[in-house]
Structure 1
Amino acid sequence: MRPFLGYTRALIVTAVEVERANVLAGLGLGEQAPDALEAGAPVVVTACGVGPAAAGAVTAQFMSMAAQDGAPFDVVLSAGIAGGFAGRVEIGGLVVATESIAADLGADGPDGFQSVDELGFGSSRIDGDARLLRTLRLALPEAVGGPVLTVSTATGTAHSKELVQKRHPDAVAEAMEGFGVATAARLWPAAAFGEIRTISNAVGPRDRAAWRIPQALSTLKGAFAALSSR
């Protein structure tokens, strides 16, 4: 396989195996592509598990092993399905993150939620790499651009949706791994980070019957097919 989007070596991190399988299918790699670091493969796709902690740990492991082997990754993508905010992106749609935000990292109290930024403990936002973001938007012109939230507990009620939208009115989607992948990736300053999500459901009251996971997975496959042709 030729270099991915002009980068020497890419690491693509999904949460679960079904997401990984659709990324691989889109790239035209099928099951032949290992998730281990073998022979400096130009693209490695791995399923890290659910949540920012697992995402950060696995990404850091792969980045460290690659660097030690003398074949570091110079681009890292968090990819998979997500919930979308109604009016910002349609179910089955595609999102490219302008930034990944740890939306529930902070403290609650009588005056409401305070982010780590407001508490003075660091930053809950990591921007996508500007060059990579331009490349993704050119390759995926149908994608909606905007902040993607990372949470440890998915939003599942109308009240919690109202609260999170009040804090992040520009957010387009909510997922569970992007900020973890980004946190690990930025330990290697030469590596560009980005996040791509496809929408399986609307953020808000939890209604599994309304979810369209196969449609979102199909969009994910199509997105990586488009990226592989660049």
Structure 2
Amino acid sequence: MATAVPVERDAVAGAFPAAGRSLRLPGTTLERLSPASRDSTAARVTLDLLAAGVGPAPAAASTAGALTAAALDGAPYDLVVSTGIGGGFQPQAPVGSLVVADEITVADLGAETADGFLPVTELGFGTVSHRPPQSLVREVVSATGGRAGTVLTVSTVTGSAERAAELRARHPRALAEAMEGFGVAEAAAAHGVPVLEMRAVSNPVGPRDRAAWRIGEALAALTEAFGKLAPVLESWNPHDPDHQP
């Protein structure tokens, strides 16, 4: 599981028993958590937590390093989760709510033209979206009470109503924006590992009004969500045909 900063990492870790250990990797540290387990299958599940850095590039690099280390150790991951707090598009994703990505889309990778923004795919390069497994998204939504929709990845956080409106016009299913999901998803895709993104909404997308931010509430919502999510992560089987996207 990859967050941007340590305070988000700690909020996720708060949903699990305190027992665990730190694993040093080049440039970063993994926290290996101990999920609460009531059966022998869950007891074999390993949950690693990483504060991967702010923005898509650091998140991709740190996640790729963790994935590579696990693969070289002979214990590759079955799932990568990008998580933390983020901005919510109003009124669909109010402050304190939870958004589960059924599509992870980078919103500002491309080119500005006289006719508007062109995504990088229309320039003939790369990709702009990753889709988490549909069945997993449904299970996570059911367990947490979150809402499924597009989570946008941006390198520059939205700070105006005009920019928020532009993003919603280009991405009408967008519920939230954050800065790491697409980078984490790119690293996961390079290793052939499924990805999930989940965000607790700390502020409205739009003008930067610090008085409207509810970071503490969002972090608490993140802890609560992962407490409910643990059984889903423990039981999910990426090799089950019913769990394919």
TM-score of the superposition, structure 2-length normalised? 0.84
Percent same amino acid at aligned positions? 47
- Mapped partners of 2:21, 2:107: distance in 1: 33
Write the distance in 1 (CA, Å) between the matches of 2:231 and 2:16: 9
- Ranges in structure 2 where 5+ consecutive residues have no aligned partner: 23-28, 33-43, 233-245
The AA in structure 1 aligned to 2:196 is: G
Give the direction of change, closer, same or farther, for the CA distance of 1:81–1:33 in structure 2 (3 Å limit): farther
Tell me how far apart the structure 2 counterparts of residues 200 and 41 of structure 1 sit (CA, whole Å): 30
Question: Could you report, residue by residue, the CA deviation over 1:99-126 in whole angstroms, capped at 9, with x for unpaired residues?
Answer: 1100000000211111112222122011
**Total equivalences in the alignment:** 216
2:168 counterpart of 1:168: no
1:88 is paired with a residue whose SS is coil
Runs of 4+ in 1 over 6 A off after TM superposition: none
In the TM superposition, residue 37 of structure 1 has moved relative to its aligned partner by: 7.5
Once residues 57 and 221 of structure 1 are traced to their aligned partners in structure 2, the CA distance between those partners, rounded to angstroms, is 25
1:192 Cα deviation (Å)? 1.8
Partner of 1:107: 111
Higher relative contact order (CA 8 A, sep 6+): 1
Provide the residue aligned with 2:213 in structure 1: 211
Partner SS, residue 100 of structure 1 = strand
The alignment partner of 1:36 has SS state of strand
Would you say the 8 A contact 2:31–2:49 is kept in 1?
Answer: no
Distance in 2 of aligned mates of 1:134 and 1:143: 10
Greater CA drift, 20-29 or 46-55: 20-29
Amino acid aligned to 2:132: G
Q: CA deviation at 1:220?
A: 0.2
Q: Distance in 1 between matches of 2:213 and 2:61?
A: 29
Letter of the structure 2 residue corresponding to residue 89 of structure 1: A
- CA deviations on 1:120-140 (whole Å, 9 max, x unpaired) are 212201111223223212322
Q: CA deviation at 1:33?
A: 4.1
Normalising by the residue count of structure 1, what TM-score does the alignment of the two structures yield? Answer: 0.89
| Structure 2 residue 188 is the aligned partner of structure 1 residue 199 | no
